[in-house]
Chain A
Amino acid sequence: MRQQRSYSTRAIVLKRINLGEADRIVTLLTPTHGKIQVVAKGVRRPTSKLAGHLELLCHSQLQLALGRDLDIVTQAEGRESFLDLRMSQWHMTCGFYLAELVDRFLEEQTQHSGVYFLMLEMLRALDADAARSPQEESIDQANDPLHTLSQLLLRYFEIHLLSQVGYEPAFRACAHCAAELRPEPNGFSPSLGGALCPRCSRFWSRPLSVKALHVLRVLQRSEWQAVPHWRLSASLLLEIERVMHDLLRFHLERDLKTWSFLEMLRLERNLDSPALPSAQNL
């Protein structure tokens, strides 16, 4: 039987590199082919029919023709372009971060439909969050100066991405002696892959507070829709972020480029944000 010359797939655009005069190599996340690189011809010209549907983080339906090295995009139709996300610097940076994480963790041509659906769910949630935050920075700051929901979303994505690729962090039992963790100051070790009980404190690389462990556990075991809309303190958010970043750094053996951008935006915000009232007991 003759091999099919083209195929159709849905895809999220993760990365784009310019190629030649007006072409681009586009890295896609697809439900059936995993992460793939394809060539989009002529997309840097203003009249390109493909360009708008192959923007970063767009979710599109694509027709791809088999190429010698890389497949070639022949048709593209956008399904979701997450336009609200693109109105906010913070949410755009979060989007960049999701794309960088997926690009770093996934090997090409390996099916990861779980990651695809996770990424899609997170992009929709980010877009909705961006739509809720008014464009005027000042109003935004009054409502949620720390972007708590989107920060939790990043942590949720990190935890579930790690699970999908086989590095599920241990937050229920001690990662060393397997004793059940109790509501007391525990510790954390990225190389052992999770939280550690006080008896294994010689392996701690950092302490882990009761509140932080609680938040991490809820994020790990819940569907995103069921994650409570907490108001967390800046220090607690930072603690959870440090724990997750330690873990990611251990697995990737490097820092992610987007981290410095998220940090930059946070510093700008924290400078003039007042102390937070805690709406919920956490």
Chain B
Amino acid sequence: MSELAPPVAALIEEFSKLPGIGIKTAQRLTFYVLRSPADQARRLAEAILRVKESIIYCSRCFNITEHDPCSICQDPQRDRQLVCVVEEPLDVLALERTGAYKGLYHVLHGALSPLEGIGPDNLRIKELLERVRHEEIHEIVLATNPNFEGEYTANYLVSRLRELKSELAPRQLKITSLARGLPIGGDLEYADEGTLRRSIEGRLDLGA
């Protein structure tokens, strides 16, 4: 890399620190930036800076936001008695795209994982329990990922929330989870035992 001008070499090095980007891809990206119009490069640089400088966590739901509280927490149209617990901010985005959910969120920022040493203190679990204590929440929808770690996290949350229930009386707290079942566009024969079993248990009445 000694042949390259130092600014070029520096950009290649920075790109190659990104996840999934090796040295060859970093070189391609760098030369793409080099050949692209100056204002496009400036917009990229500004976007990166803005993300670091202006993005904060919502103090209520811990989603990423520019303003605290975030736009979802501030929205008066939202059902404040309903809180959906997700692992990552991107999960909020996925649920919002459906347009079917009208409640608030709580972002844990990960899932419990004994194998990686991620415990309850590494996630926003304490904050969730505080919210349940102090806000008029009537239903918690657990929407952690439908894998082993996600279910482990959900199991943990259920036991903590159950402990809390007596404290909340007379307010009722319903704990629900997203349904498990077959993906649209999938093939029944490839479905695993766990998914099929849950699909049968949660079969729908078509009202014929």
Q: Does A149 contact B (CB under 8 A)?
A: no
Chain A residues in the interface with B (C-beta under 8 A): 15, 20-21, 46-47, 49, 51-53, 55-58, 78, 81, 83, 86-89, 92-93, 96-97, 99-100, 103, 137, 257-258, 260-261, 264, 268
Least Cβ–Cβ distance between A22 and chain B, in angstroms: 12
Contact present for A56 and B148 (CB under 8 Å): yes
B159 partner residues in chain A, CB cutoff 8 A = 89, 137, 268
Chain B, interface residues (CB within 8 Å), range: 20 to 34
B195 partner residues in chain A, CB cutoff 8 A = 52
Number of A-B contacts (CB under 8 A): 76
Q: Does B13 contact A (CB under 8 A)?
A: no
Task: Identify the stretch in B58-66, B124-132, B167-175, B182-190 within 8 Å (CB) of chain A at 4 or more residues.
Answer: B182-190
Cα separation A46 to B181 with both chains bound (whole Å): 10
Cα separation A100 to B116 with both chains bound (whole Å): 10
Query: Which applies to chain A's interface (DSSP): helix, strand, loop or mixed?
Result: helix
Contact present for A81 and B193 (CB under 8 Å): yes
Task: Select which of B114, B191, B197 is within 8 A of A261 by beta carbon.
Answer: B114
A57 partner residues in chain B, CB cutoff 8 A = 148
Contact present for B155 and A83 (CB under 8 Å): no
A261 partner residues in chain B, CB cutoff 8 A = 112, 114, 119
Contact present for A47 and B186 (CB under 8 Å): yes
Cα separation A261 to B155 with both chains bound (whole Å): 13
A56 partner residues in chain B, CB cutoff 8 A = 147-149
Contact present for A20 and B20 (CB under 8 Å): yes
Told that A49-B190, A137-B159 touch, could you supply 17 new A-B pairs with CB distance under 8 A?
Answer: A20-B20, A21-B20, A46-B186, A52-B192, A52-B194, A55-B147, A58-B192, A87-B155, A88-B155, A89-B159, A92-B155, A96-B115, A100-B114, A257-B114, A257-B116, A258-B115, A260-B119
B20 partner residues in chain A, CB cutoff 8 A = 20-21
Best-surrounded residue of B152, B162, B187 (most CB of chain A within 10 A): B152
Cα separation A51 to B162 with both chains bound (whole Å): 31
Q: Does B156 contact A (CB under 8 A)?
A: yes
Contact present for A89 and B156 (CB under 8 Å): yes
Cα separation A100 to B120 with both chains bound (whole Å): 19
Q: Chain B 149-160 against A: per-residue CB contact (8 Å), 1 yes, 0 no?
A: 101100110010
Least Cβ–Cβ distance between B41 and chain A, in angstroms: 25
Task: Select which of A52, A93, A96 is within 8 A of B191 by beta carbon.
Answer: A52
Q: Does B37 contact A (CB under 8 A)?
A: no
> 21 interchain pairs (CB within 8 A)?
A46-B183, A46-B186, A47-B185, A47-B186, A49-B186, A51-B147, A52-B192, A52-B193, A87-B155, A89-B156, A92-B151, A92-B152, A92-B155, A93-B114, A93-B152, A96-B115, A257-B116, A258-B114, A258-B115, A261-B119, A268-B159
The 7 A-B pairs of least Cβ separation, nearest first, read: A52-B192, A56-B148, A49-B190, A257-B117, A96-B114, A258-B114, A89-B155
A260 partner residues in chain B, CB cutoff 8 A = 117, 119
Cα separation A230 to B185 with both chains bound (whole Å): 51
A87 partner residues in chain B, CB cutoff 8 A = 155
A92 partner residues in chain B, CB cutoff 8 A = 148, 151-152, 155
A100 partner residues in chain B, CB cutoff 8 A = 114-115
B115 partner residues in chain A, CB cutoff 8 A = 15, 96, 99-100, 103, 257-258
Contact present for B192 and A97 (CB under 8 Å): no
Cα separation A87 to B120 with both chains bound (whole Å): 19
Cα separation A81 to B115 with both chains bound (whole Å): 19
B191 partner residues in chain A, CB cutoff 8 A = 52
Contact present for A55 and B148 (CB under 8 Å): yes
Contact present for A55 and B185 (CB under 8 Å): no
Least Cβ–Cβ distance between A237 and chain B, in angstroms: 20
Cα separation A99 to B119 with both chains bound (whole Å): 17
Cα separation A81 to B198 with both chains bound (whole Å): 13
Contact present for A81 and B149 (CB under 8 Å): no
Q: A46-B183, A47-B185 known; A83 and B193 CB under 8 Å?
A: yes
Cα separation A57 to B148 with both chains bound (whole Å): 9
Cα separation A7 to B30 with both chains bound (whole Å): 41
